[in-house]
Structure 1
């Protein structure tokens, strides 16, 4: 088993001496596991980690959403823990990610509490009243069961020697050497040099950030670490393409749609701001809880300057024999939310994972993996710190009204603020008009992708003739 106590990973790197670029690396499974884990990381965590970078990356409008949550008064949220849920969202695969040799997320491990072993209620908070018939205090801490592979691997099977290209395509050993060399244009052996480089969490964070904005993230991370990449203020490259995998994506289903009032500049054909209720802002803030893999899943190739889509495609195309199980592959390609982080009015169609427990005479097992149980396990219901079901509420108190700018800065409604937005945009009051739009599943997904890719999310989503925003110079 690999030693998980060390804080670095050794990489064998083949580089082009003339151009000082990585041609490919031959890493161990510990590195590939870390690479694949990128898909499970919630956007709020990525934004928080990006702030630690020497040259922080602006990820579309996501940074503005994160800052908006930070600036909100705690009284705006219906439950005191909601703000922390958005600023420090939990990873549904955190048990796997905690077993990685290098961990990006420095959040404290979750704790779990029940009132007794036979109870089917679970809480992240100690000493709250259990809603079961006993009404006991939930003070018995439970340990999460994680079934690690015998060789210490997390997602991919051990002792597999992959080849990873500069643009994060992971090539399995079954590919012929000739096809690999041809694909990577390896011609002059004398122009190549082999390097051994040790990387830690700083380099892994840099690699994650580079994967969003660069086609050569390994070169940027391993060979040019002293040259701070010139991050663009947006990671948008081409027009946004929606590739919906959601069911029930009907445009005629008015029941689940959110009403939104847009204030539009008639001459500039842009959305200046929106006047929105808490239901729309709940949708926006929920973007921070979404894992990166869910967003990448709904994008087509060519939508990003970076190459994170290549990594997703690699996992999708990788033969199942290289993964620990089909479930592990699904965790990366179709990542879910932690229980309690989704709400019933969410339009994006992402699912929560489930907690299961099984109690026998000799042991108690609590996990998300149903395959660990010899028979049908009990499904646990999550209880919040206020003994209220979060799924029925969202994050914000209701009713409430907010101003949402085109780049998704969210603040409580204020006419003075609205005038300031118009002044900043150089839009006279005589040039504005109201437009009522309805946000359904299709619009919600488009808004999500726009918020990730560009800095004019409302205009890109709702103004039809501006659906192809200009690339920032």
Structure 2
């Protein structure tokens, strides 16, 4: 089999291949490739949709694609500002200051420009736009800041230089020599030299992107990427969960209930089919579901650790959680992957999902430095937590508004998350397409709190009937979680 020409920007992978079945059994990976693979967890969902599209790769992740297309089709006047639309279509990665050091980068985010207050030592505000007034003093935020995050650990991005593992075709990350790996090798027939061969591949950016896309829909992404040169025609929907309630694995996690604001939703339901035809909602519900595009992949996967996937991308999250801590550069670097956060200032204020924004500190150690890891700040040095002005409000005269959309507004949202401005014509077309008669529909009002928001999130990733699964299906008995 022809091998790719080696390139300084490529990563060399040794793979053990089953010759008879033409399948990768496992690959040997060093810290460079481990970093690239683990970095998938930091990428926002909207960015993954855009990456796949830009590389002409057919990938449908539940109804996430439909959400993305809805934002593209909505009139720009619906959004509070152009920034709000861009935040959803081109979300930034909060870990980009680390990911920019990856040997292979499938995203090449340009760090957003930031400006500080002239009285920054007293009022530590940053803005993504120049010459806006400081909320604490009369000065403007006009001095540009380069937020180069200090990292006292040399070598590697997330894991230490010299770390090495084996990664199976379905993305199980295992130590090179362990009882678990040897048992797995025996099961897969890897110990029979007559049926296996060792091949070396030079992996570039295109192969890394194909690996990411394939892992959503295939149990054999390495085989699809390395041994099958022709892409899968159309990868289709990640999973079909019609007929059962979808539960988040973390629905009981702590979210400040005092800050929780329930959202009211009017469902138009077919009585005979017991499915949601569409929902009539205000901008607060649309803000919530649009915010799914800003969420890092790792945050979403943690909600569904035991959920049955068509692909094997969930193994990556489990691999990070189980990865030997001694091989991470620090606890902070592991935290970046296990609990990825949002870019400061870009979250939806009614945070029913419980995700946090990244926090940055400025401290002095011979010179001013920035870090998101408070543990590296010398104990004899003071530090200040940096605050960010809400970029979504830039250009919006209503400073009390929240979210991405102008208030007030009414929308129609279909079961598969096609979002339109409220329109009787569109609602009629939905009923006609579903072959539902007027006499067969009824209104049901439901309220969205933290549990419902997490169910909506999970359903949007794995189902093509999101509203039906989130609101009409009866919850199943909770499954016993696997030990992490």
Same fold (TM over 0.5): yes
Distance 1:147 1:293 in 2: 22
What is the alpha-carbon root mean square deviation over aligned residues?
2.5
Distance 1:304 1:208 in 2: 14
Range moving further from structure 2, 142-151 or 39-48: 142-151
Deviations 1:29-64 (A, max 9, x none): 111101001111101101111213444111101001
Distance 1:187 1:22 in 2: 14
Tell me how many residue pairs correspond in the alignment: 461
- CA pair 134-366 structure 1, distance change in 2 beyond 3 A: farther
Structure-2 residue corresponding to 1:72: 74
Q: Which of these residues, 247, 250, 260, is aligned with residue 244 of structure 1?
A: 250
Q: Which of these residues, 167, 171, 196, is aligned with residue 168 of structure 1?
A: 171
Determine if contact 1:236/1:304 at 8 Å carries over to the other structure.
Answer: no
Tell me whether 1:428 sits opposite 2:434 in the alignment: no
Q: Which of these residues, 420, 423, 428, is aligned with residue 414 of structure 1?
A: 423
Q: Which of these residues, 202, 206, 210, is aligned with residue 206 of structure 1?
A: 210
SS at match of 2:194: helix
Q: Which of these residues, 313, 316, 334, is aligned with residue 339 of structure 2?
A: 334
Structure-2 residue corresponding to 1:319: 324
- CA pair 172-442 structure 1, distance change in 2 beyond 3 A: same
Distance 1:30 1:424 in 2: 50
Q: Aligned-pair distance for 1:467?
A: 7.8
Determine if contact 1:344/1:392 at 8 Å carries over to the other structure.
Answer: no
- CA pair 13-207 structure 1, distance change in 2 beyond 3 A: same
Determine if contact 1:406/1:455 at 8 Å carries over to the other structure.
Answer: yes
Q: Which of these residues, 148, 157, 160, is aligned with residue 157 of structure 1?
A: 160
TM-score (norm 2): 0.89
Structure-1 residue corresponding to 2:105: 103
Q: Which runs of 5+ in 1 are unaligned?
A: 469-473
Give the 5 Å matches for 1:41-60. Answer: 41-60=43-62
Distance 1:225 1:380 in 2: 48
Structure-2 residue corresponding to 1:219: 223
Structure-1 residue corresponding to 2:3: none
Q: Aligned-pair distance for 1:277?
A: 0.4
Structure-1 residue corresponding to 2:468: 459
Structure-1 residue corresponding to 2:300: 295
Q: Which runs of 5+ in 2 are unaligned?
A: 1-6, 478-484
Determine if contact 2:346/2:390 at 8 Å carries over to the other structure.
Answer: no
Distance 1:285 1:467 in 2: 27
Structure-2 residue corresponding to 1:263: 268
4+ long deviations beyond 4 Å: 252-255, 385-392, 465-468
Structure-2 residue corresponding to 1:129: 133
Structure-1 residue corresponding to 2:311: 306
Distance 1:174 1:392 in 2: 56
Structure-1 residue corresponding to 2:348: 343
Give the 5 Å matches for 1:157-196. Answer: 157-173=160-176, 175-176=178-179, 178-196=182-200
Structure-2 residue corresponding to 1:372: 376
Structure-2 residue corresponding to 1:14: 16
Tell me whether 1:382 sits opposite 2:388 in the alignment: yes
Range moving further from structure 2, 120-129 or 408-417: 120-129
Deviations 1:248-271 (A, max 9, x none): 579x99962111000011111110
Structure-2 residue corresponding to 1:471: none
Determine if contact 1:236/1:303 at 8 Å carries over to the other structure.
Answer: no
- CA pair 248-372 structure 1, distance change in 2 beyond 3 A: closer
Structure-1 residue corresponding to 2:481: none
- CA pair 246-392 structure 1, distance change in 2 beyond 3 A: farther
Distance 2:239 2:103 in 1: 29
Q: Aligned-pair distance for 1:294?
A: 0.8
Distance 1:382 1:399 in 2: 26
Distance 1:86 1:219 in 2: 33
Distance 2:92 2:34 in 1: 22
- CA pair 246-337 structure 1, distance change in 2 beyond 3 A: farther
- CA pair 344-246 structure 1, distance change in 2 beyond 3 A: farther
Determine if contact 1:53/1:206 at 8 Å carries over to the other structure.
Answer: no
Q: Which of these residues, 35, 56, 63, is aligned with residue 33 of structure 1?
A: 35
Deviations 1:382-434 (A, max 9, x none): 11455689996111111110000000011110111111111111111221111
Give the 5 Å matches for 1:79-98. Answer: 79-98=81-100
- CA pair 180-149 structure 1, distance change in 2 beyond 3 A: farther
Q: Aligned-pair distance for 1:278?
A: 0.7
Tell me whether 1:445 sits opposite 2:450 in the alignment: no
Distance 1:254 1:211 in 2: 36
